[in-house]
Amino acid sequence: MIRRRLLLGTLLVLLATAAVAAAGWPRIAVWAAPDKRATTTRSAAATDADRLFWTTLHGGEYDRIPTALTAVKAAYLQNPNDAVTASHVGWLHIWRLAERARHAPARPEITDDAVLARKYFEEAVRLNPKEARYLGFYASLLMAEGSIHRDEKMVRRGFFAMKDAVAAWPEFNYFTAGYSMSTLPVESERFRDALEYQWRNLDVCVGEKVDRANPDYARYMGLETKDGPKRVCWNSWIAPHNFEGFFLNFGDMLVKAGQPDTAAAMYQNARHAREFAAWPYRAVLEERIRAAATNVTAFRSSEPAPGTPTLMVRSPFACTGCHQQ
């Protein structure tokens, strides 16, 4: 009888162990799978798609986004280990989402671009985790997608991922963080944070605290550089009017905050760029300066009426304001 009980007990232990092993095997199998690794070479299809990507973006050819997406996605499917190609797919989806005001009213399916952009930037971050620009875009898209689906956990994941992105490259990601949160209610803490991020962006670009009462940037123009992390504080081949677009957005955010006088001074800083005369949106800036005080109410609207002035982030030049040649 004792021996029978021992055998039965041993059998039950073995069965229980087998059951635990069976339940844990899927996790072990996933853990043991090889990591996705970035490629060390780029295909001819990828470099051709790059040229089309930049031609389309720099030309401000919003309606050609589907053509560019087809080429870039074909290159990605040929080599899904290319971080640059993955980021370009994500960027085209961001652009289509951001400038949806070009085709008002926006179709409900435009929100799919947020999901796809987040997915491709997630891939880019996996393949090149040291590229802080990818992390900043990924973080902003987590917040955007979370807001669309009312998923507060996703929003918070994005918020804290953005803090990591800012720490990794503040000159770039203070702007990304502030811009992505500029549509939040003016009375919210996160909007106040977004506005502060723009001030801190200026501070890290020039190496001192910029005068909040008189933000005249003329004194800093001699600091312009094409090298190192501070290169993103100025115009470049990637963003030919980054400087002008930054001050247009900052002015818009100050108007929304109820500071039209400071906003007018901030807008005027865009004129310091050597490339200002060639900027496609200089007339927009001049109108912003003239209408700073009257735009306060309009910029605070969560659903601006068609044809009324609105924040840069909601405009048909949300991306091309910096990137169009």
Q: How many CA atoms lie within 13 A of 74 on its CB side?
A: 14
**Distance of alpha carbon 56 from the chain centroid:** 19
Quote the pLDDT of residue 250.
98
Of the candidates 214, 215, 284, 212, the one whose C-alpha atom is nearest the C-alpha of residue 244 is 284
Sign of CA dihedral 44, 238, 278, 178: positive
Angle at 247 between CA 244 and CA 253, to 5 degrees: 145
Quote the pLDDT of residue 34.
77
**Distance of alpha carbon 311 from the chain centroid:** 16
Give me the amino acid identity at 4.
R
- Long-range contact pairs involving 159-164 (C-beta distance under 8 Å, separation at least 24): 161/135, 162/136, 164/135, 164/139
pLDDT in tens, the chain (325 residues): 555 655 555 655 555 556 656 667 677 766 677 788 888 889 999 999 999 999 999 999 999 999 999 999 999 999 999 999 999 999 999 999 999 999 888 889 999 999 999 999 999 999 999 999 999 999 999 999 999 999 999 999 999 999 999 999 999 999 999 999 999 999 999 999 999 999 999 999 999 999 999 999 999 999 999 999 999 999 999 999 999 999 999 999 999 999 999 999 999 999 999 999 999 999 999 999 999 999 999 999 988 887 889 999 999 999 999 999 9
- Asked whether the beta carbons of 240 and 58 are under 8 A apart, the reply is yes
* Residue extent(s) of CATH 1.25.40.10 domains in the chain: 42-168
pTM of the full predicted structure?
0.89
Quote the pLDDT of residue 123.
98
Q: Does domain 42-168 fall into CATH 3.40.50.1820? A: no
Whole-angstrom Cα distance, residue 57 to residue 90? 13
Whole-angstrom Cα distance, residue 247 to residue 245? 5
Whole-angstrom Cα distance, residue 168 to residue 166? 5
Whole-angstrom Cα distance, residue 109 to residue 76? 23
- How many CB atoms lie under 10 A from the CB of residue 98? 25
